[in-house]
Every structure is written in C-alpha cells, then in structure tokens.
Chains A and B, each alone.
Chain A
C-alpha cells in the first residue's frame, strides 16, 4: 500500500501541487467565509479523488505482469484498482453535478468490472504452460525401465503421476482414458492391464482378425494392405495409429454406431508422438503390470506395420526449424543442398558449386538402378526413390566402392524435414549421366 501511495505521489505530484496552490489561493483571496469553506472542501475532495486515481494508475501499471523485463507486480491486485475507480467515479459524480449521470454510470461499470475481475482472480489460478520442449532422447538405447519411465512422463506429465487422477502429459491420454481399475473412464476404455486384455480383443467378433474388409468401421485398415493385428503389441499399435479401425463397443462417436472413434491418430497432430515416444508409452503399459515388455525394436516394428513410411513422425521434423531441423523443404532446391552441406562432398549436376569429390557423383537416375541390381546390395530399397532416400537416411546400407564407409553423417533423418528429404530425392532421382540436369528454381 505504501508503495502504491509513493507511486501515486510520484506520478501525480504536479496535480497535487496545483491543487494545494489552489487551496492556498482560496484561503487568501475569498472574503466570504461560507464560499471559502465550500470551495476549500471541494478542493480537498478533488485532492483525495486525484490521489485515488493516481494510486489506481500506479497499481494498474503492475497489473499486467507478463514476465517481461520492466514489469513486476501481481495481476491479482487489479480489482483493487477497479474498486478505487468505482469510488473515484462515484465521488466525481457528486463533485461535477452537471455530469453526475455519466460518472455514476462509470462508477457502476467499474463496480461490475471489479467484481468480475475479483472473481476471476479469486478462483484457482491455472496457467497453461508452453508446450513441452522436445528433448532429444535416445529411446533405442534405454532399458525397459527407463523407457517405461519416459512413457509415464509422456502420458501423465511426470514420474509417479500415474496414480493421480487428472495428471496429464504430452500424450493427453488421461483426458479420456482411465488407467487404474476403478478410475473414471467414461469417454474411452479404461486401460488397466491392457497388454493381457489386448489379446482377447483380437478375438472380438467385430475385430475381424485377418479380414479387415469385413469391418463396418469408417476406416477398415490403417493404410491399404496394412492388415490387422496379430499380437497384443500390434493391437496396441493399431489402436494408436488407426483408432477407427476397431472401436470398442459404446466408445464410438455418438450417432455412428461405433463405426468411428473420437480418438485422434496419435502420430498425427495435435499430439504427434514419434515412434520412439510411442515405444516408451507402450513399454510403460507393460512394465507397470509387471509384464515383460517387447523390445524397442519389436514395438517399432509393430508401428511400422500400421504407419506408412511417409507418415512416420521423425523426432525432429515436427518441431520445425526451432528444434534443430536445418531445412524444412520450403527452400529452393539449391539452398536446400547448401543447407544440408551435400556439395562439400558430392558433385551434383545442376547445382552451382557442388563439385565435391569426397563421395560419389550423384547421378542417381543412372546409378541407382545399377546399384539396386548389384549382388552386394543388402538394403531394403526396391525403386530409385527408395534407394536415394535410404542413402540419405542410412548411408551405410550400401557403400559405393571405392569410397569408405562412415564418412557421411547418419543424422540427416533428424536434420531434414520429410518434405526436404522428398525434395532432394525428387531432384537426385532425375539426374542422369550424359543428360542435362533439370532446371532449378
């Protein structure tokens, strides 16, 4: 309070000095005692009103503390300002009789605002924090327990939070699912002991194991040809990747007769869990039941069955440039190559300055088909595009002779967005020996 009063004096001192001057002037210049008394009283009221106004202003300056430098204070005090505004306006209404109506109206408006602001500040203050920053975790090298812990954090927002109803993490699962037997789970199935129960779901009459075409759901398969789950883990993966492929009875979107699930695909926005994160989530569901979790690779494989390659979220691609991605795919192709650093080692026809000799010349339209036929090729690619993609994301899958292995960085999958990789692949696949390169933008 003292600070506010000091602040008020600091801001409004010229007004106070003038009003004091006016008061002295009335004392010395008005002979009529009654008139002098009336005017002096009015001036005093005016000083009080001005003081309150400046206190309110002084307080107001601290009410929008946004954490920005130069702003300190507590937004919870604004209603105090508004109450002062209420009194001030009312007082001014008495003072300026010709504008009484306006001031009294202003006073009642201040009062309504003070009550409502006060109410808002009185309620529990919950602040929606920033979306959690993406921390680069190497899920692959974690033990099942570590992986499970990460899973608990993703689901519930912290270790040990799984028994707290209402705790929620990046995955947002508890918004709808209960995880403990007996916990509220009206919107979606309760997931206690899901690894064991998942197996029985495979035999559910509406699941149509091995026969997705028979399903009456809006989406019969995660993607054409993905098929249905065969194991408990695959069932979990399928329900994350394609919630509408099988809807647990009574949990479908209202009015759809359980043919459509309200759950979003977890690898897509707004949740966008990466395969590594999904592996952590699934591992937790096993570990907390005391069951033996499938290996990281097995879990990833189960997701790869239901999420086509182009749809698989990469740890870095969803973050945009802020998260360590060096190219988004929106750049012109030349810039894209420059950002990725390819010209330093490779000669790339059509790209100015790309004359590197550390790696092979990139004329993939010609060389990729030959390498795919090479007996020593052990990679998984079956087409030129797949081969080029594989060479970027997994350079050791096939090493062109006589160049040595392990020269090319293996983290382009983390540094380039899916769009950027596609763009590079598009370009490289068109390059043919002896033919002019495609025109660049």
Chain B
C-alpha cells in the first residue's frame, strides 16, 4: 500500500517537473524576446533639430491617461485625409470589408480559445472520476471537443492573415500607426502564436500516446499551458482595442512615451479581458452544443443520439454557466466606460447607440428563455420529472414579465414630432419600468428563474433521502423566496431614492442572485447524495425541438456577440484611436441600426455556414474509435458530469 502511495507521489512529482520543463520550453520564445524590449532604440522625435545635445533631443510628452511625463519617442498619429493615399479602396465600403474580416477572425479565435478550457475541465473530470466507463466517456468528449477546434484553429490563422492584409491594403496609415505604438510587443504576439500552435498540436496528436498514468497527467498539464498561452494572446489582442477606445501611454499627439505597459494597460483593458473570457466561454459552449445538436439530428442509431444528447447538455451547461456572470461583467465594463469618458457611456446607453442596447436586452432575455426551454424539454427524458411540469407555466410567467420590464426603454433618441406625440422624453407609463432600478429587478428575476429551472432539472428523476430533507427543502424555498422579495423590494425602493444611491442597490440584488447560484446549486447537490432514483435518464430520448433550441441558442449568442462588438467599436464614432487619431475616411459615420443588423446577420450566417462545413469535415476523418456501442450509456446519475447530470 505504502509502495503504491510512494509510486503515485513520484509520478505526480515527475508530472509536475515535466510540466514545468515543457512550460519553460514553450515560453522560451517570449523569454528570448524580452531583452529586445529593453534594448529598443528609438529615433529622435520629429521636430527636434539636430546639433543639439543628446539631452535636448528628447522631447517630453504627457500621457493622456496616466498624466505622467515621458520621452516622446514614438511618431505622432498621422493626420489622415480622405484620399486613396491614406484610405485605398475598392468599389465598396472598406469599413464593411474590415468589419467582416475582423468579426470572422474573432468568432473563430474565440472558439479556439474557449474549447481548450472546456477540454481541460472535462479531461480533468475524466481523470478524477473513479468510474472507468464514465472516465472514458469524458475523455472521448474532451477529444471530440479538441478535434473540432483543430480544424477551426487553422481557419483562425487563415482569417488572421486575411485580416492583416485587409488592414494593410485598406487602412495602411492607421495600421502603420497602431503597429508602431505596439512595436515592442508585436513580435511577442507572433511568437505566442508559435507556442500556441506547438502546444495544441502536441496536445491533440499526443492524445492516444499519452493516455495512461504519468503521461496522462502531463497531457492534462499541457492543456493548462495551452490555456495560459491562449489567454495571454487574447489579452494582447484586447490591448489593441482597449488602446483604440481609451488610449494611454501616448501624448496628445499620439506619440509613444516609452512605457509599453501603459499602452497595454488602458482604462478599459481589464474589464474587456474579463468580459471577453466569459463571452468566449459562453460562445464556445454554444458552438459545441450546436455541433452536438447537429450530430444528434444526423445520428444513425440510439447510441450516437445518446452520446450527442449528453454532449449537447454538457456544452450547454458550461456555456450557460459563463453566460450567467456575463451581464455582471458587462455592467463593470460599462461602469469603467462611464468613469473613463462620461460622453462615451451616454452615447452607448442613452444616445446614438441606445437602441442597440434594447436589442441586446431582448437577446439576453431570449437566451435565458431558450435555456429554460431546453431544460424543460430535457426534463422529458427523466422518469419522475413529470411532477415539475405543472409548475413550468409559473416560471414562464416570471420570465416573460421580467423580460418585458428588462427591454422597456427609458431614455432614447427621438425626433421632435415623436417627443410631442409621447408628451415628453419618457413614456408616461412605460417610462417608469424603463429605469435601471426596474431593469435590474427584471434581469435578476430572469436569472433566478433559470437557476430554479436548473435545480429542478437536477432533481428531475431523483428524490432526496437525507435525514434532513424536510429542513433542506424548506430552507431552499425560503432562500429563493427571500432572494426574490429582496430583488423586487430593492427594485421598487430604487424609485424613492436618488440615482447615485440607487446604483448601489444593484450590488445587493446581484448578491442575492449569485447566492442562489453558488449556495443553492451546491446545496441541492449535497441533498441529492444517495438520492432515490425514480427512473433512469434516457439519454437521446429528448424531443428534436430541444436540439433546435440549442442551435438557436448558439446562433442567437453569435448574433449578440456581433452586436456587442459592433457597439463597442462604433462608440469611437469618428476616431480611429479615441481623441488621438481621427478617422477622415468617407465612412467616418455611424450606420443605421438596420444596416448594422444586416451586416451582423451576414457575419453570423457566414460563420455558421463555414463552421458547419468544419463540423462536416469532422465527421469525415474519425481517427479515434467511438465508444463501443455495448458500453452502457449512463442511464443513471452515477457518477454524473461535473455539472450535476
């Protein structure tokens, strides 16, 4: 026994050592690149006359954001004109070409960054599970995930190339300036790609070779390295858009002041990072769920259907798990936008782009409604879940009321005639429901209802048998009721206090909602330990419409991602780099909502049709044998996926 423990410990030590060695090798390019940062030599700034002493040569500039002085060693942002020299063009709007190229690259990039995170979680779940059949299923699932992302990975690289060419050919002056500012980290970005590619290919192709013991741990560790590199890559890319929205590290003329960290660490960088990581995860979950739905719909036998039903469920759960905190991350981002430039926040939420947020609110509501719908459908594959069916109508009622309140607009841009017709800036009745106080109440009610649906789903075919069941159930009911009352009470109370105090209430509302998620869901799982089974989960026995719900969920999420990206980008209005480099192209105006919606639709469909092609390709080259049909599909909840089922 003791020998076995020593052996295991040795294996783990070896695994950790191997991981560090591998990590060091993969990060070597960055280490090599670092000295180059310190040794950069910059030309003397323009406007300084030769012949002066070295000290006088350095013109000093003041950071537009950090407000500290630094040597203005970069070149100023070019002042462009509407000529083909600055804006070469085809017989089409250059901005749309760039928009499409950017969006496609972003969709694929998000997907290939999110999937390895899922793989890591699922592979770990497989390794921790004691049930061998289940472990194998998890492993197969993780492998299926990475297999999809491998093809998508090369498409991402191709799209990245197309994006750069589009930039260079259509916006040379702007791209030249941006790359001059980010010059110290450009090569790091490129080298990170090399490291990412190396890791992902070893990870994928080494799957079968590294399936046992120490090597399996090493394999899992690679996914950690992969995700560290991937996240760093994303954060570097985010720093460019952060710089475009809220520049720092440069002076008023746009001259780089020698501190690359200030250029990267802009006012909006961190909120963007968090928002994008969560968004990528939710998006990745959606895409994999859609893949599973596709495979479910085209399945030839019950085993396949069962497997892909389960896969769709796991992917959807992971996606929704990240969708729930997403509105809060968005709230933080908006807060930081307001803190950075109040006008920018107002342009977003109460000005030119306000209607787009109404679309966004509608979509958030639709996403949650669809998620709930899927969970209710999924109850159908469990014996004993019928007892919840009759309550669903009440959840529908809460969801619909919450959604209607959430999407009611308050302050919007109106023509004088519309103002006159309405009798004021706000609708006399609806305006009251459109204020932030009520909206917060609406969205929190929606999220709480979704959590409740999930808890019902967890209980679908199980009845708790713990000795304190009665207490547990009462506690859960009281908890939800109190959280609901807290939410509605604060939403109402918000009407009676000033706006600046009201903002603080949202924190209390969010705490209530998140408590339901982080306390009630685990609490429910504890209650369900050793629960009595009312019947098996019949994986694969789910109505076909549930799979279309998954597909619609994924499509709607993709659309919302396109919409939010558009909003984030267009809030700069006629600036390439906010307040530093002006956009003087013929397209320096903001399109109508309808036009933007059309381009977003085009992008969404383009992405989905290409990724469907990728899915189809995935079905062609099956290298790994599927789980033998004889192996029982887990019909019972033991052991369950990490999410409860």
Residues on A lying within 8 angstroms of B by beta carbon are 63-64, 66, 68-70, 75-76, 78, 82, 85, 100-102, 104-106, 108-114, 116-117, 119-131, 164-168, 172, 175-176, 184, 186-187, 250, 253-254, 262-264, 268-270, 320-322, 328-330, 333, 419, 422-423, 426-427, 430, 438-441
Contact of A127 with B342 at beta-carbon distance under 8 Å, contacts A64-B598, A104-B297 already known: no
Partner of B49, one of A69, A113, A426: A426
Partner of A105, one of B294, B350, B582, B592: B294
Q: Is the CB of B92 within 8 A of A264?
A: no
Which residue of chain B has the shortest Cβ distance to A69 in the bound complex? B91
Partner of A123, one of B93, B346, B355, B570: B355
Complex CA–CA separation, A168 to B573 (angstroms) = 15
Residues in A whose Cβ lies below 8 Å from that of B594: 75-76, 78, 117, 120-123, 125
B54 within 8 A of A: no
Residues in A whose Cβ lies below 8 Å from that of B574: 130-131
Complex CA–CA separation, A193 to B294 (angstroms) = 66
Complex CA–CA separation, A75 to B601 (angstroms) = 12
Complex CA–CA separation, A115 to B355 (angstroms) = 16
Complex CA–CA separation, A331 to B79 (angstroms) = 12
B531 within 8 A of A: no
Contact of A120 with B597 at beta-carbon distance under 8 Å, contacts A109-B551, A322-B82, A419-B253 already known: yes
Interface size class, chain B = 35 or more
Residues in B whose Cβ lies below 8 Å from that of A121: 593-594, 597-598
Partner of A113, one of B76, B91, B593, B601: B601
Contact of A270 with B342 at beta-carbon distance under 8 Å, contacts A66-B96, A419-B47 already known: no
Which residue of chain B has the shortest Cβ distance to A175 in the bound complex? B346
Residues in A whose Cβ lies below 8 Å from that of B34: none
B555 within 8 A of A: yes
Which residue of chain B has the shortest Cβ distance to A111 in the bound complex? B552
Q: Is the CB of A116 within 8 A of B552?
A: no
Q: Is the CB of B363 within 8 A of A70?
A: no
Q: Is the CB of A166 within 8 A of B609?
A: no
Q: Tell me the smallest distance from the CB of B346 to a CB of chain A, in Å.
A: 5
Q: Is the CB of A123 within 8 A of B593?
A: yes
Residues in B whose Cβ lies below 8 Å from that of A430: 49
Residues on B lying within 8 angstroms of A by beta carbon are 46-47, 49-52, 76, 78-82, 91-93, 96, 252-253, 290, 293-294, 297-298, 338-339, 341-343, 346-347, 350-352, 355, 358-359, 362-363, 412-414, 416, 418-419, 424-425, 499-500, 503, 548, 551-552, 555-556, 559, 570, 573-575, 578-580, 582, 584, 587-601, 604-605, 608-609, 612, 616
Most buried by A among B92, B343, B346, B598: B598
Q: Is the CB of B76 within 8 A of A330?
A: yes
Q: Is the CB of A329 within 8 A of B47?
A: yes
Q: Is the CB of B601 within 8 A of A78?
A: yes
Q: List 5 A-B pairs, minimum CB-CB distance, nearest first.
A: A120-B597, A128-B590, A121-B594, A320-B79, A101-B297
Contact of A128 with B589 at beta-carbon distance under 8 Å, contacts A112-B559, A176-B342, A270-B579 already known: yes
Complex CA–CA separation, A103 to B418 (angstroms) = 43
Q: Is the CB of B597 within 8 A of A119?
A: yes
Contact of A166 with B79 at beta-carbon distance under 8 Å, contacts A68-B91, A106-B609 already known: no
Contact of A105 with B551 at beta-carbon distance under 8 Å, contacts A66-B93, A68-B91, A419-B47 already known: yes
Partner of A119, one of B79, B359, B499, B612: B359
Q: Is the CB of B359 within 8 A of A123?
A: yes
Which residue of chain B has the shortest Cβ distance to A184 in the bound complex? B425
13 pairs across A/B with beta carbons < 8 Å? A66-B92, A66-B587, A68-B93, A102-B612, A106-B612, A116-B559, A117-B600, A128-B591, A131-B574, A166-B413, A167-B416, A172-B343, A253-B339
Which residue of chain B has the shortest Cβ distance to A102 in the bound complex? B612
Partner of A127, one of B80, B363, B412, B592: B592
Q: Tell me the smallest distance from the CB of B415 to a CB of chain A, in Å.
A: 8
Contact of A127 with B82 at beta-carbon distance under 8 Å, contacts A102-B612, A439-B51, A441-B50 already known: no
Q: Tell me the smallest distance from the CB of A243 to a CB of chain B, in Å.
A: 11
Complex CA–CA separation, A441 to B50 (angstroms) = 7
Contact of A108 with B590 at beta-carbon distance under 8 Å, contacts A113-B601, A113-B604 already known: no
Contact of A109 with B555 at beta-carbon distance under 8 Å, contacts A82-B601, A126-B413, A130-B589 already known: yes
Q: Is the CB of A127 within 8 A of B590?
A: yes
Most buried by B among A167, A172, A320: A320
Residues in A whose Cβ lies below 8 Å from that of B343: 172, 175-176, 264, 270
Q: Tell me the smallest distance from the CB of B3 to a CB of chain A, in Å.
A: 53
Q: Tell me the smallest distance from the CB of B256 to a CB of chain A, in Å.
A: 15
Q: Tell me the smallest distance from the CB of B156 to a CB of chain A, in Å.
A: 21
Contact of A320 with B50 at beta-carbon distance under 8 Å, contacts A101-B297, A102-B616, A106-B612 already known: no
Complex CA–CA separation, A126 to B600 (angstroms) = 17
Q: Is the CB of A110 within 8 A of B425?
A: no
Complex CA–CA separation, A439 to B57 (angstroms) = 13
Residues in B whose Cβ lies below 8 Å from that of A322: 81-82, 584
Q: Tell me the smallest distance from the CB of A212 to a CB of chain B, in Å.
A: 19
Complex CA–CA separation, A269 to B341 (angstroms) = 11
Residues in A whose Cβ lies below 8 Å from that of B600: 116-117, 120
Q: Is the CB of B346 within 8 A of A120?
A: no
Partner of A166, one of B298, B419, B556: B419
Complex CA–CA separation, A82 to B593 (angstroms) = 17
Q: Tell me the smallest distance from the CB of B147 to a CB of chain A, in Å.
A: 19
Q: Is the CB of A68 within 8 A of B355?
A: no
Q: Is the CB of B551 within 8 A of A108?
A: yes
Residues in B whose Cβ lies below 8 Å from that of A172: 343
Q: Tell me the smallest distance from the CB of B489 to a CB of chain A, in Å.
A: 23
Residues in B whose Cβ lies below 8 Å from that of A440: 49-50
Residues in A whose Cβ lies below 8 Å from that of B82: 322
Q: Is the CB of A126 within 8 A of B592?
A: yes
Complex CA–CA separation, A75 to B609 (angstroms) = 22
Complex CA–CA separation, A116 to B356 (angstroms) = 11
Beyond contacts A78-B598, A105-B297, A113-B604: 5 other A-B pairs, Cβ-Cβ < 8 A, are: A68-B93, A78-B594, A101-B298, A128-B590, A254-B503
Q: Is the CB of B500 within 8 A of A254?
A: yes
Residues in A whose Cβ lies below 8 Å from that of B556: 112, 116
Complex CA–CA separation, A119 to B358 (angstroms) = 10
Complex CA–CA separation, A321 to B83 (angstroms) = 12
Q: Is the CB of A108 within 8 A of B499?
A: no
Residues in B whose Cβ lies below 8 Å from that of A269: 252, 579-580
Which residue of chain A has the shortest Cβ distance to B587 in the bound complex? A66
Residues in A whose Cβ lies below 8 Å from that of B587: 66
Q: Is the CB of B80 within 8 A of A320?
A: yes
Q: Is the CB of B604 within 8 A of A109?
A: yes
Q: Tell me the smallest distance from the CB of B532 to a CB of chain A, in Å.
A: 38
Q: Is the CB of B601 within 8 A of A116?
A: yes
Residues in A whose Cβ lies below 8 Å from that of B363: 116
Q: Is the CB of B341 within 8 A of A264?
A: yes
Q: Is the CB of A125 within 8 A of B593?
A: yes
Q: Is the CB of A438 within 8 A of B49?
A: yes
Residues in B whose Cβ lies below 8 Å from that of A75: 592, 594-595, 598
Residues in B whose Cβ lies below 8 Å from that of A328: 79
Q: Tell me the smallest distance from the CB of A95 to a CB of chain B, in Å.
A: 16
Complex CA–CA separation, A164 to B417 (angstroms) = 10
Residues in B whose Cβ lies below 8 Å from that of A423: 47
Q: Tell me the smallest distance from the CB of A438 to a CB of chain B, in Å.
A: 5
Complex CA–CA separation, A113 to B590 (angstroms) = 21
Contact of A176 with B346 at beta-carbon distance under 8 Å, contacts A329-B47, A330-B76, A439-B51 already known: yes
Q: Is the CB of A175 within 8 A of B548?
A: no
Contact of A262 with B342 at beta-carbon distance under 8 Å, contacts A75-B598, A112-B556 already known: yes
Residues in A whose Cβ lies below 8 Å from that of B570: 128
Contact of A117 with B351 at beta-carbon distance under 8 Å, contacts A128-B573, A172-B343 already known: no
Q: Tell me the smallest distance from the CB of B266 to a CB of chain A, in Å.
A: 16
Residues in A whose Cβ lies below 8 Å from that of B413: 124, 126, 166
Complex CA–CA separation, A164 to B362 (angstroms) = 29
Residues in A whose Cβ lies below 8 Å from that of B601: 78, 82, 113-114, 116-117
Residues in B whose Cβ lies below 8 Å from that of A176: 342-343, 346
Complex CA–CA separation, A384 to B590 (angstroms) = 47
